[in-house]
Structure 1
Amino acid sequence: MASTNDYIKLHFIVFLWGFSAILGMLITIPAVEMVFYRSILAAIGMAILIAATKGSFQITTTDLIKLLFIGFIVGGHWIAFFGSGRISNVSVSLVGFATNSLWAALLEPVFNKVRIKKTEVFLGLLVIAGLYIIFSFKFQYKLGLLLGILAGFSSALFSVFNSKMVRRVPAYTITFYEMIGAALFIALFLPIYKMTWASNHELQLIPTTMDWIYIALLAGVCSVYAYSVAVELMKKISVFMLQLALNLEPLYGIIMALIIFKDKEKMGVNFYLGAALIVSAVLLYPVLKKAKSGKQKS
C-alpha cells in the first residue's frame, strides 16, 4: 500500500523528469550522442551506488537478458524523447510523452492477463481527444509530436516489464543493468544514425564543459536517483498510476520551458487546449478511483 511519502517521491521524480527535457535542450551535442553518454554515466553511477550501499550485482542469466532487453527499450525511449524536443520544442515532446497513460492502460492488462479497466480506457480516450485537437489545426511539429508519442509508448512498455522484474530483483540492480542495456543499444544504433540522420554523416562525440555538467546532472539526478526510485515505487504503485502521474511531467516541463526559453516555447491556443485535456486525466483519475471504491463499498 502506497503512503503519502511515496506519492511525494513520485511527484518529485516526475518534476525531475520534466526538468530533464530542459537539460536536453541546453546540451549542444545532438540527442543520440547525448543519451549515449548519459547511459554510460548512469551505469557507472549505479555501480558506485550499489557498491556504496553493499547491494548486489548478482543476477541470473535469464534476468540479465531480460534487463538488457528492457534497457534497449529505455535507450530507444531516450532517443525518441530528446529527438522530439530537438526537432520541435520541449512542450511538444512532453505532450506527446503524456500519451503514456493510454499505452499503460492498454499494455498492462495484456502482459498481466487482467481485464482492461473502463476508467483507464476512458482516461486514455481523453488523451486521444487532446491529441486530436492538437493535430486538427495547422500544427508544424507533427514529426516531433509523433516521436513524443513513441517516447510515451516505450515508457509504458518498459514500466510494465519493470513492474514484473522488481518483484524479485532489487531496484538498483535493475537500473544498473538497464543502463548498460541502454548504452549497448545506442552504441549499436550509432552507425545507423551516422549513415542516415547525423548532420553531414558525422558524429559529434566531443561535448563542451557545460555539456558534461548537464549530462552528469541527467545521469546522476534524472537517471540514477529518479529511475531507481521509480522502479522501487512500482512495488506499491500500479503501472497505470505511475504513468498517469507522469502526465504531470508536461505541466512541470512546459512551465519551466516557458520561463527559460520564452518565445521559442509559445504555441497556438489549440495546442494548449489539447495539452490541458491530456493533463486533466491526471486530475480525474483519483476522483474516479475514489468514486468507484465508494460504490464498491456500498
Structure 2
Amino acid sequence: MPKDRILNLLHLHFIVFIWGFTAILGKLISIDSLPLVWYRMLLAAVFIFIYIRLVRFRLQVDKRTLSWLIFGGIVVASHWVTFFYAIKISTVSIALAMMSTGAFFTAVMEPFFFKRKVIGYELLFGLLVIVGLILIFRVESNYAYGMLVALGSSFLASIFSLVNGKLVKQHKPSVISFYELGIGVLFLSLILGVQGSFSMEFFQLNNMDWLYLSIRALICTAYAFIASIKVMRILTPYTVMLTTNLEPVYGILLAWFIFGSEEQMNPLFYIGAILILSTVILNGILKNKASKNKFPFRKLREQTKETKLKSPGRPGSI
C-alpha cells in the first residue's frame, strides 16, 4: 500500500507538472487565443470520444443534465479563451498567479451554490488574497489589463468547478468532459462563424503549431484528465487538492527557465503570488481538519475503500 501511494503521488505531481506546462504551450503557439482553444477542445473531444467508445460508456443524459453541460461547456470555453489571451498580452507568470485566486472565488460562491454557511477564516483568507493582488498590481502595472483578463478567467474557472462538482456525483467524468468539450467547440464555432474566421488560412497552421496543439489536446487535456481521476482511487481528495495547487509554481518555474528574462518579475510580485498560494493551501489544511473532526471514522472508511479498490478483478481503467 505505501508503495502504491508513493507511485500515485509521483504520478499526480507529473500530471500537475503537465498542467503547468499547458500555459507554456499557450505562449509558444502562434495563433490567437480563440482558434487556439477551438483546436484544443476539438482534438481533446475526439480523443476522449475514442476512449469512451473503447470502454463502452453510455453517452445518454437527461434534459436537465444536458442544460448544465451546455452551461459548463460555454463557461470552460470562455475560461480557456480568456486565460490564453491573458498569457499572450502579459506573461505566463502573471496569468498563473491570477489563476491562483480561483480557490478564493470558489470559497466565496460555494456557500450560495451548495447552500452552506460562510466560514469565518475564508473571509480572512479573502482579504489576504486581495492584499496579494494589490502587491502584484502595484509592481506590474504595465500588465494591468492582462491581470484583469486573467482574474476574469479565474472567476469562470471557479464557476466551472462548482458546476462539475454537482454533475460528477451522478455522471462519469469522461462523459461530462466529452459533452462540455464538444459543446465548447460548437459555442466557439458560432463565434468564429459570425466573425467570418473560417477560411483556408484558419486551417493552415505551421508544423510546430500542429505539434503543440496535439500535445495540448492529447497529453495536457485528455491524458491528464483521465489520469487525474485514476490516482484519486488511491490518494485522498485532500492530497490531490494540495498537490494540484502547485500548478502555478511549476508553471512559473518552467516559464522562467524557458523564456528567461521575459518572465522575471519584481520581487514583490513573488511575495504577492506566495501570499495568494499560501491562503489556498491553508484553506485546504483547515478544511481537512474540520472534515476529520466532523467525521472521525472517515479515515477508517477510506482505508477500507482503498483495500476494496485494489482487490483482484477490478478493471484498471475508468
* TM-score, length basis structure 2: 0.80
Corresponding residue number in structure 1 for 2:248:
250
Structure 2 equivalent of residue 82 of structure 1 = 84
- Are 1:98 and 1:250, in contact at CA under 8 Å, matched by a contact in 2? yes
2:316 maps to: none
The one-letter code sitting in structure 2 at the alignment partner of 1:84 is A
**Alpha-carbon contact 1:101-1:243 (below 8 Å) kept:** no
Match of 2:286 among 288, 293, 297: 288
Structure number with bigger Rg: 2
Q: Distance in 1 between matches of 2:9 and 2:280?
A: 13
CA contact (8 A) 1:39 1:183 kept: yes
CA distance in 2, matches of 1:235, 1:152: 28
- In structure 2, the residue matched to 1:265 is 263
2:24 is aligned to 22
- Indicate how the Cα distance of structure 1 residues 12 and 255 shifts in structure 2: closer, same or farther if over 3 A, else same: same
State how far apart, in whole Å, the 1-side matches of 2:238 and 2:193 are: 35
C-alpha distance in structure 2 between counterparts of 1:233 and 1:103, whole Å: 26
- State whether residues 101 and 124 of structure 1, in contact with CA within 8 Å, keep that contact through their aligned partners in structure 2: no
The 5 A counterparts of 1:1-298 are 11-137=13-139, 139-191=141-193, 204-228=202-226, 246-289=244-287
Three-state SS of the structure 1 residue aligned to 2:40 is helix
Q: 2-side partners of 1:171 and 1:244: how far apart?
A: 20
The whole-number CA distance in structure 2 between the counterparts of 1:190 and 1:17 is: 26
Deviation by residue 1:28-85 (Cα, 9 ceiling, x = unmatched): 1111111111111011011100011121212223222221220110100000110000
Structure 1 unaligned segments of length 5 or more: list them. Answer: 196-201
SS at match of 1:141: helix
Question: Which sections of structure 2, spanning at least 5 residues, go unmatched?
Answer: 297-318
| CA offset digits 1:5-38 (Å, max 9, x no partner) | 8766654433222110001111111111111111
What is the aligned-residue RMSD (CA, Å)?
3.2
Cα separation, partners in 2 of 1:291 and 1:244, compared to 1, 3 Å: closer
CA distance in 1, matches of 2:233, 2:254: 30
Aligned 8 A contact 1:98 1:152 in 2: yes
- How far 1:117 moved relative to its partner? 2.0
Distance (Å, rounded) in 2 between the aligned partners of 1:176 and 1:222: 15
CA distance in 1, matches of 2:230, 2:162: 13
C-alpha spacing 1:286/1:180, structure 2 compared with 1 (3 Å): closer
Alpha carbons 2:241, 2:284 under 8 Å: kept? no
Over residues 131-161 of structure 1, what are the superposed CA-to-partner deviations in whole Å (9 max), with x where a residue is unaligned? 0111133521011111111111111111111
TM-score (norm 1): 0.85
Deviation of residue 122 (structure 1)?
Answer: 2.7
Provide the residue aligned with 1:198 in structure 2: none
Larger mean CA deviation between 267-276 and 81-90 belongs to 267-276
**8 Å contact from structure 2 (residues 139, 266) kept in 1:** no
Q: Do the aligned partners of residues 74 and 85 (structure 1) sit closer, same or farther apart at CA in structure 2, a change above 3 Å counting?
A: same
Local SS of the residue matching 1:140 = helix
- Percent identity between matched residues is 37
| Helix, strand or coil at the partner of 1:29 | coil
Question: Residue 39 of structure 1 contacts residue 180 of structure 1 at CA under 8 Å; is this kept in 2?
Answer: yes
Q: Which consecutive segments of 4 or more residues in structure 1 shift more than 6 A?
A: 3-7, 231-244, 293-298
* Conserved? CA contact 2:245–2:281, under 8 Å: no
**Matched residue of 1:136: which SS?**
helix
Could you tell me which amino acid in structure 2 is paired with residue 55 of structure 1?
A: F
Kindly indicate whether the alpha-carbon contact (under 8 Å) linking 1:68 and 1:180 is maintained by their aligned counterparts in 2: no
